[in-house]
Chains A and B, each alone.
Chain A
Amino acid sequence: MFQRLQTKLTVLYAGLFALALSVVAVAVYVAITSNAQRTVRQEMAGSGAVFDRVWALRTQRLHDGAELLSRDFGFRAAVATHDRPTVESAIANLRQRLGLDLAFTVGVDGEVVGLDPARLNLETLWSALDAEDGAQGVFTIDNKPYQLISAPILSPTLTGWIVFAARLDEPEMLALEKLSAIRLDAQVFDQRSGHWVSADRGPVDKPLAAFVGRAMHDKLLEPVLLRGGADSLVLVKPIKALDRGGGAALVLRYPMAQAMAPYRPLMAAVLIVGLLGATLVAAASWALSRGLAKPITALDIAARRLQRGEDVTVEVTTRDEIGRLAESFNLMAAEIREREAEMIRQALHDGETGLPNRRALERAIEKRLAAVGPGEQVIIAAIGFDRFTQVRAAIGYELATELVAKLGQRIFEIAPGVLVARMTTSIICVVSDSNNLDDLLKIVEEALPALEAPIELGGEPVDVHITQGLAATTLGELDAARLIERSLIALDQARAAHRKFMAFDAAAYGDPSANLSLMSEMLEAVRKGELYLNHQPKLDLRTGAITGVEALARWNHPTRGFIRPDLFVGMAEETGHIRALTDYVLAQAIEDQARLRAAGHDVLMSVNISGRLIDDHAFAQYAIAQVAAAGARLCFEITETAVIGNPDVALSVLDRLAEADIPVSIDDYGSGLSSLAYLKQIRADELKIDKAFVTSLEAGDKDALLVKSTIDLAHSLGMKVTAEGVETREGLAALQLMGCDLAQGYHVAKPMGLEKLIAFLGEWSIELPARDDARKTA
């Protein structure tokens, strides 16, 4: 709910205090109220008792007066003898003496003396007086309640009653009220025609009248809290009434507001103290939580900044837990910084040499790229140790690494503004501070002797042979990774060109990314028939006939034109598309052979099988099936090196081909480092001598000897021999003399399309020189 600790704490404390205070206030209020009520009740009960006593005394006083008069002999004599004037004067005398409101006699015969009988309900009064000896109670005279006291006049028999009446009016009530310790409202209620009324004090309070009726009915003798308007405690004390028997009641009232009045300052004090306290607590907890929350907030902010990787330290202001937390935080932040620095250093440096690594290099390039102006170049150089593996083998791993480090140091010493990074174990990359490639090439040339000066390792000077490749880029041309790649390619190019340094040659490099799309295009070309076979005839040196052809795949790309076979075949081998290509060549060869047969030329057709397929049983099975199905006569040309990769499988595949009567020819013999042991194991039918030997056949005796011995070796192993690259009549003759079986080369024929081949075969005739010579010699 609250986002801030400070607010939370303040609200919590202030709230708790306010709650506690409210509880206290309510408890105080309840205690005070109940106490006040109890006090008032007790007071009322006490006052009620006092009133009872006062009432009784007053009654007694009146009674005594009445009694006294009733016993006065003269008075009695006057009454008994109906001496009215005497009686009246006696009554008046006593009334004055006792301070009575009214005094009169009622005779047993109903005669009233001392009062106008019309003012009262004589019949009711007479009955009441007659019903009880010394009857007393409330009686209404002139519609006003009076307390009536009677005493019988006996002379000696009952002749009448002397009646004293005291008004129950306001002064009377006030006099009663004054007797109480608390200021009570006293009121006399009497019942008239079913309603409880009080004739005295102001208009009738209806709820109070109703309550009096209820209290009288239920005989409630305890003070009761009467709500409505102003709450008041009401005590209803029944008083005897003389008329009708409905009764009368003395009602004592005490307003609760008055009872609460003395406590009001206390309540106000509690409230004010409470409000003051709550304000103080709120302020104090605000201040306290501020002190508490401030360092936490500072820590929070610092933690966020630390998260963002900023360098932060929080101020330690206190020595409590939070202070210790801040100290810990600072320690942690420092450790994180150190660790981070170490990690960055490790991430950006080569562990062995301590030189910056490739990532550092890329960053430096990116930084330079961001800083260069338009048209300016960022140039890097890849400096590679020549024949590093050999050097490392000679001086050991550790020293070789030191050699790299020292070279890096040397570069840095020569050109202090550059960044030197170790790229691979043997290559160092340098980000130049120069912006111009041509200028830099000159500088590099000048610095070359200094760079290649021997480096001292373990007290011994070691020769340094390096090659440099340079690459440059403008902003937006290349990214760091591509620039590095280009420098490495330039290094390779320089080595290939046997130069000490070279800038990247884009023309020589071509576009490797285009090569990948070439493969999908090749598969497309297979379908569209853009791929086709050229056939190079093979001449039988004994008969002079063309007995075989070698099928060679050719691709005429619709946009790129003629594509070199070594490019797309090599690419197919590298990318795993060789099977598809070979399957196509196989099918095409079978079809071409069929067409040659149809044209009347039965020739053995040789197909080149990639080394990648020679250890593939599935391919072998497929090829055998195809050949068998077409009844074709094919020869599979393989290179001996293909067998070396996985000899067991390759040899078993060759066995299967032999079993299927598919002759196998060993291609390019002599170009690799083949061993005679393999030659012995391979069940081949033919050996093709590499053209490198054949072209130089006439130049030296060594090659001629090699070719001759090879032919003899092959023959002794039961294989025919084909010589490749025969380009001259002399060469052909020499081969014929050496006993070579077949010849292939430009001197015989270039590879050609099927139509051309059919025409060529139709016109073929040759005068074999050796035969001529043999003829001549013979």
Chain B
Amino acid sequence: MRYVALLLMAALWAGPALAGDFTVTVRGADGKPVPDAVVMIYPNGQPTKGPIKFAWPYRVAQQNIQFNPFVLVVPVGADVAFPNLDKVRHHVYSFSAGNKFEIKLYGHEENRTAKMNTAGVAAIGCNIHDQMVGFIRVVDTQYAGKTDATGAVTIQDVPAGAVVAKVWHPYLRGLKNETALQTKSVGAGPAREQVTIDLRAPAGH
């Protein structure tokens, strides 16, 4: 049902607006590919109206005393699951404004969820294990994704026209750890951009 509606919407919008894949490659100042960088594209600079759905699970597992994945991209309002795959217990929290939550000590195979209420960042940690740091990027656009190990991300079906594109990374030097992409508009068909960001060392560990 939802799918039909989507299709319908796509048909509705696709008429005048042709769409294409937009691939962004992120490299560090040292030239190495940067994984876990989140690329967000706002067609016409507007957030996506209506519900947003990503193909990946909204899930941050605790595995080997680490958050997995390190960076998770979820839409606003998503319920993120925090399954504990470790044998120890964890106390996951986030003090991030708008996305504050706290999942007090819970054990193995236990699964808890937290709702991401605000677009922005939820830096998550474990009160027991200081080294456990993870980030949930709460976005308000359909066109978002994070770079893989090669530093590349392909955002599909970006409508042609004017866009505002940003790159976010938890350690990116810059206001709110964000930087804008150069691309101001995308045409029909695939588009590519490479961006170099300045990262700083993760603090405190």
Contacts and interface: CB of A to CB of B under 8 A. Distances in A.
A155 B125 contact: yes
B203 A155 contact: no
- Which of A77, A81, A156 neighbours the largest number of chain B CB atoms within 10 Å of its CB? A156
A81 B95 CA distance: 7
Given A133-B204, A154-B204, A81 B123 contact: no
Interface string A120-157: 00000000000001000000000000000000101111
Contacts, number: 40
A156 B170 contact: no
- Which of A76, A152, A155 neighbours the largest number of chain B CB atoms within 10 Å of its CB? A155
Interface string B61-84: 000000000000000000000000
Contacts of B135: 157
Contacts of B170: 157
B95 A154 contact: no
Interface stretch (B126-134, B155-163, B185-193): B126-134
A154 B100 contact: no
A81 B130 contact: no
Nearest to A158: B203
B100 A156 contact: no
A697 B170 CA distance: 195
Given A71-B130, A154-B125, A156-B125, A80 B95 contact: yes
Interface in A483-528: none
A52 B157 CA distance: 64
- Which of A77, A154, A157, A159 neighbours the largest number of chain B CB atoms within 10 Å of its CB? A157
Contact of B100 (A73, A81, A152, A159): A81
A757 to B, nearest CB: 174
A73 B203 contact: no
B95 to A, nearest CB: 3
A154 to B, nearest CB: 4
| Chain A interface helix/strand/loop/mixed | mixed
A152 B204 contact: yes
> Which range holds the interface residue count of chain A?
10 to 19
A157 B130 contact: no
B124 interface: yes
Contacts of B93: 73, 77
B106 to A, nearest CB: 16
Given A76-B95, A80-B95, A157-B133, A152 B203 contact: yes
B123 A155 contact: yes
Interface in A82-137: 133
B123 A157 contact: yes
B2 to A, nearest CB: 35
Nearest to A81: B95
Contacts of B95: 76-77, 80-81, 155, 159
Contacts of B126: 156
Interface string B1-18: 000000000000000000
Contacts of B124: 156
Nearest to B130: A71
Interface string A145-179: 00000001011111100000000000000000000
A156 B94 CA distance: 8
Given A76-B95, A80-B95, A81-B100, A154 B127 contact: no
B29 to A, nearest CB: 17
B203 A133 contact: yes
A660 B204 CA distance: 167
B123 to A, nearest CB: 4
A558 B123 CA distance: 172
Contacts of A73: 93, 127
Interface in B96-128: 96, 100, 123-127
Contacts of B203: 133, 152, 154, 157-158
A77 B170 CA distance: 19
Contacts of A158: 203-204
A155 B133 CA distance: 9
A157 B93 CA distance: 12
A156 B204 CA distance: 9
Contacts of B127: 73
A745 B124 CA distance: 194
A451 to B, nearest CB: 158
Contacts of B130: 71, 154, 156
Nearest to A155: B95
A159 B124 CA distance: 13
Nearest to B201: A133
A73 B204 CA distance: 15
A158 B96 CA distance: 12
A594 B100 CA distance: 191
A152 B125 CA distance: 15
Nearest to B95: A80
Contact of B123 (A77, A133, A156): A156
Contacts of B96: 80
Contacts of B100: 81
Interface string A40-54: 000000000000000
Contacts of B133: 154, 156-157
A152 B127 CA distance: 15
A155 B204 CA distance: 10
B129 to A, nearest CB: 10
Contacts of A76: 95
B80 to A, nearest CB: 16
A81 B130 CA distance: 19
Contacts of B123: 155-157
A156 B96 CA distance: 9
Nearest to B127: A73
A73 B128 CA distance: 9
Nearest to B121: A157
Interface string A52-79: 0000000000000000000101001100
A158 B125 CA distance: 12
A159 B93 CA distance: 15
A659 B105 CA distance: 188
Contacts of A157: 123, 133, 135, 170, 203
A158 to B, nearest CB: 4
A76 B130 CA distance: 12
Nearest to A154: B204
Contacts of A133: 201, 203-204
A47 B204 CA distance: 34
Nearest to B131: A156
Contacts of B204: 133, 152, 154, 156, 158
A159 B123 CA distance: 11
Contacts of A155: 95, 123, 125
Interface string A19-44: 00000000000000000000000000
B46 to A, nearest CB: 29
A156 B100 CA distance: 12
Nearest to B203: A158
Nearest to A71: B130
B166 to A, nearest CB: 19
A81 B93 CA distance: 13
Contacts of B132: 156
Interface string B189-205: 00000000000010111
A673 B39 CA distance: 186
Interface in A435-481: none
A155 B127 CA distance: 9
Nearest to A152: B204
B200 to A, nearest CB: 9
Given A155-B123, A157-B123, 12 more contacts: A73-B93, A76-B95, A77-B93, A133-B203, A133-B204, A154-B133, A154-B203, A154-B204, A154-B205, A156-B124, A156-B126, A157-B170
What are the nearest 7 A-B pairs in CB distance? A156-B125, A80-B95, A158-B203, A154-B204, A157-B123, A156-B133, A152-B204
Interface of A: 71, 73, 76-77, 80-81, 133, 152, 154-159
20 contacts: A71-B130, A77-B93, A77-B95, A80-B96, A81-B100, A133-B201, A133-B204, A154-B125, A154-B130, A154-B133, A154-B205, A155-B95, A155-B123, A156-B123, A156-B124, A156-B125, A156-B126, A156-B130, A157-B133, A157-B170
